Amino acid sequence: MFLPKLTPEGRKLLRDNSDFVGTQLKHYGVQFEEPKSSGRSTTPTTLLKAALTAGKCDQVPKHIVKLQNEETRRLKDKESDWETRREKVHQDYLLKLARKKEDVSLIGRYLVDSEPIEDGFLDKATDLVLNIHRTDTPGIFKVNFDFGVVEGVMLMCLEKVALDKYCAQAGREHDDNSADSLDEEGSEEDLVDEGGISTKKNLKLGNKRGWPASKTSMTRAKIQKTGKDRALQYLLKLKCREKSEGMIYFQESDGTINFDNEKLASFDGLVDLPIIGQGVSFSARKISDLPRPSGKNWADYSERQYEMGRINRWR
């Protein structure tokens, strides 16, 4: 950008960042005198050209490299401590699960990890979570997720036909009556957070409507309840919203969730995510049987909501 002559890219960089030359020279350990604001004989460009020509910016000084390595180690230690705390919460849940006498359930709160999201959006890929809720239809579950960059709703089921029917009906719900909800979150157990604080007043329960479960899905639900011949792979449909700009992606994406075993305490997932990519892998570890309540539903990510959001962004 600066040798043998100043390029348009270099000129733009200097124009947009007045401290660029000074910070570069300091980073490479080059001693220099700050140009005076008036009557200066040496410009920032001249300073940088002189340092580059003399080879003073060919290598970062050892003491700077040492500081960078120390900072990297600190970040790794911090990340390790963070992961240790997350794993402890999961292990505490597994201990409670081992003492439970009633049937296990996939309903609950999960910590999420995803290398594709963490690698591509490091500053936004912390504390990824999802919450699995029951719906009014046996065998159909709603998943509220926050993946840092995007958040939204998944609907999941063992049976593709039942899932497609439910999604079609859910997409037609509540455009004219946003208070209607497909979620059966009215039990006191589901309305109490992990800290024991009731959140019932924050929910809009509305009318409980949806497609009746097919005979096949009802049978599967009964099999799951008795713990016999449990299927561990669920099919997903997903809609979401990009968090920074608020853009809604109303077209359905597909995915799967595979539970590790019949404890239903951890799983691996694969899903197509707008912005992030196709076939995005993620894993989840359960930390509570009580999902965090959420007012967001499938119909909140409709084409109508997309148009309303688009218009509002341009106002």
Segment 265-292 mean pLDDT: 94
Q: Is the per-residue pLDDT at 308 higher than 90?
A: no
Q: In whole angstroms, give the CA distance from residue 127 to residue 146.
A: 8
Residues 119 and 265 in one domain: yes
Residues 47 and 108 in one domain: no
What's the one-letter identity of residue 225?
K
Q: In whole angstroms, give the CA distance from residue 296 to residue 275.
A: 20
Q: In whole angstroms, give the CA distance from residue 191 to residue 133.
A: 11
Residues 20 and 79 in one domain: no
Residue 257's Cβ-side half-sphere holds a number of Cα atoms within 13 Å equal to 28
Is residue 222 domain-resident? yes
Higher pLDDT, residue 190 or 260: 260
Give the pLDDT confidence score for residue 264 in this predicted structure: 95
Is residue 38 domain-resident? yes
Give the pLDDT confidence score for residue 72 in this predicted structure: 76
Residues 167 and 40 in one domain: no
| Residue 89 burial by Cβ neighbours in a 10 Å radius (0-12, 13-18, 19+) | middle
Residues 130 and 257 in one domain: yes
Residues 163 and 82 in one domain: no
Residues 156 and 274 in one domain: yes
Tens of pLDDT, residues 196-224: 333 333 333 233 333 233 333 333 333 34
Structural domains counted in the chain: 3
Angle between helices 8-16 and 44-53 (to 10 degrees): 120
State the distance between the two ends of the chain, measured CA to CA, in whole angstroms: 39
Which of 101, 116, 132 marks a domain boundary?
Answer: 101
Segment 5-25 mean pLDDT: 87
Tens of pLDDT, residues 183-197: 444 333 333 333 333
| Tokens encoding 83 | 């992961």
CA dihedral sign, ordered 299, 301, 303, 306: positive
Residues 124 and 223 in one domain: yes
Question: Does residue 138 have a cis peptide bond before it, meaning omega lies within 30 degrees of 0?
Answer: no
Higher pLDDT, residue 213 or 131: 131
Is residue 3 domain-resident? no
Phi-psi label, residue 151: left if phi above 0, alpha if psi -120 to 50, beta otherwise: beta
Give the pLDDT confidence score for residue 92 in this predicted structure: 96
Query: CA 181: distance to chain centroid?
Result: 24
Segment 38-48 mean pLDDT: 72
Segment 133-158 mean pLDDT: 95
Give the pLDDT confidence score for residue 239 in this predicted structure: 95
Question: Does residue 291 have a cis peptide bond before it, meaning omega lies within 30 degrees of 0?
Answer: no
Say what the pTM is: 0.61
Element housing 273 (H / E): strand 266-273
Higher pLDDT, residue 119 or 213: 119
Q: Is the per-residue pLDDT at 246 higher than 90?
A: no
Residues 127 and 182 in one domain: yes
Q: Is the per-residue pLDDT at 53 higher than 60?
A: yes
Is residue 189 domain-resident? yes
Give the pLDDT confidence score for residue 32 in this predicted structure: 81
Helix/strand/coil (H/E/C) assignment for every residue in 57-94: CCCCCHHHHHHHHHHHHHHHHHHHHHHHHHHHHHHHHH
Virtual CA dihedral for 163, 285, 283, 110, nearest 10 degrees? 50
Give the closest residue to 268 by CA, choosing from 292, 233, 238: 233
Which of 45, 75, 101 marks a domain boundary?
Answer: 101
Give the closest residue to 148 by CA, choosing from 115, 121, 166: 121
Residues 163 and 302 in one domain: yes
- pLDDT level of residue 33 (50, 70, 90 thresholds): confident
Q: Is the per-residue pLDDT at 280 higher than 50?
A: yes
Residues 173 and 289 in one domain: yes
- pLDDT level of residue 26 (50, 70, 90 thresholds): confident
Length of the chain: 315
Could you give the percent of the chain with pLDDT greater than 70? 76
Give the pLDDT confidence score for residue 10 in this predicted structure: 87
Is residue 73 domain-resident? yes
Is residue 1 domain-resident? no
Residue 54's Cβ-side half-sphere holds a number of Cα atoms within 13 Å equal to 11
Find residue 161's DSSP bridge partners: none
Domain that holds residue 34: 8-53
Give 236's contacts (C-beta < 8 A, 6+ positions apart).
143, 154, 155, 156, 254, 255, 256, 257, 269, 271
Number of other CB atoms surrounding residue 314 within 10 Å: 5
Residues 170 and 35 in one domain: no
Q: Is the per-residue pLDDT at 21 higher than 70?
A: yes
Q: In whole angstroms, give the CA distance from residue 248 to residue 254.
A: 16
Mean pLDDT score across all residues of the chain: 78
Give the pLDDT confidence score for residue 40 in this predicted structure: 54
Is residue 188 domain-resident? yes
Give the closest residue to 270 by CA, choosing from 243, 228, 233: 233
Helix and strand element counts for the chain (H, E): 8, 8
Is residue 208 domain-resident? yes
